[in-house]
Amino acid sequence: MSATARKAAPMPDDIRAMKGGTPIVSLTAYTTPMAQMMDAHCDFVLVGDSVGMVLHGMPSTLGVTMEMMILHGKAVARGLKQSMMVVDMPFGSYEESPAQAFRNAADLMAETGAGAVKLEGGRHMAETIAFLVARGVPVMAHIGLTPQSINTLGGYKVQGRGAAAAALMADARAVSDAGAFSVVLEKVPAALADQITAEIAIPTIGIGASVNCDGQILVVDDMLGLFTAFKPKFVKRYAALGSDGEAAIASFAEEVRARAFPGPEHSFADKAPT
């Protein structure tokens, strides 16, 4: 699906139908201007719970709340016309029971207009995914490194190496069989990501996975060089907006101190010319 040929935002089924075709393009967004910038170029935009770390300075995604996801989801929705919006379910909003997950997923969709929600987890979330899908909530799954579980995973490690590969493959099969329309594979060895992509019926969206996934996603602040606290190996920086921005701010400060800004072109005369 080319950005120029597309008229309406895709639905989850359109994303599912892209399995094995032109790679699916996606980025995270948290604000209206960022969403506007990527709308013509992405198949879907994820309002990721990474917002907690990249915009709010939190040490992990664990402190992100439903209120934050709704606020940022509404902002992103205002910037999208062509791209589908997926909103992350934050930690604690879906793990307790399928009923809890439905209540919060329904709130996220109703408040933000999201086309789908994303939640983390494999086999243990399959029942919840099936419950949501049966009740009208399209679900994108997220397996491999699931950042909401860093405390039980022992940090931000690659998942599925060696003997752990079979369990990750079982997670991929479980979320696909449960009715998820796609699955994010985060920090998974490339060969295993290829096997999963070849075996399951739904598109795989890679982040630190494989070039052969059905699609790719990055955190927009990472790829624009706006978030520089650390750089995972899987991030490619396509711009250096953080350092460019700091240089611009330094120029502004210098000009203000030297009384070089504002110039006459930025100032107003007493009377407007007649």
Footprint of ligand KIV on this chain (CB under 6 A)? 28, 46, 48-50, 88, 142, 184, 207, 217, 219
Residue 50 assigned to a binding site: yes
Residue 171 assigned to a binding site: no
Query: Is 186 tagged catalytic?
Result: yes
- Could you tell me the smallest distance in angstroms from the CB atom of residue 145 to ligand KIV? 9
Considering beta carbons, is residue 48 or 121 the nearer one to ligand KIV? 48
| CA atoms of 27 and 85, how far apart (whole Å) | 10
- Could you tell me the smallest distance in angstroms from the CB atom of residue 139 to ligand KIV? 14
Nearest residue to ligand KIV by CB is: 48
Residue 118 assigned to a binding site: yes
| CA atoms of 97 and 70, how far apart (whole Å) | 21
Residue 244 assigned to a binding site: no
Considering beta carbons, is residue 141 or 174 the nearer one to ligand KIV? 141
- Could you tell me the smallest distance in angstroms from the CB atom of residue 142 to ligand KIV? 6
Catalytic pick among 127, 186, 246, 254: 186
| CA atoms of 59 and 135, how far apart (whole Å) | 34
Give binding residues as ranges: 49-50, 88, 118, 120
Which residues have a catalytic role annotated?
186
Residue stretches of the annotated binding site for 3-methyl-2-oxobutanoate? 49-50, 88, 118
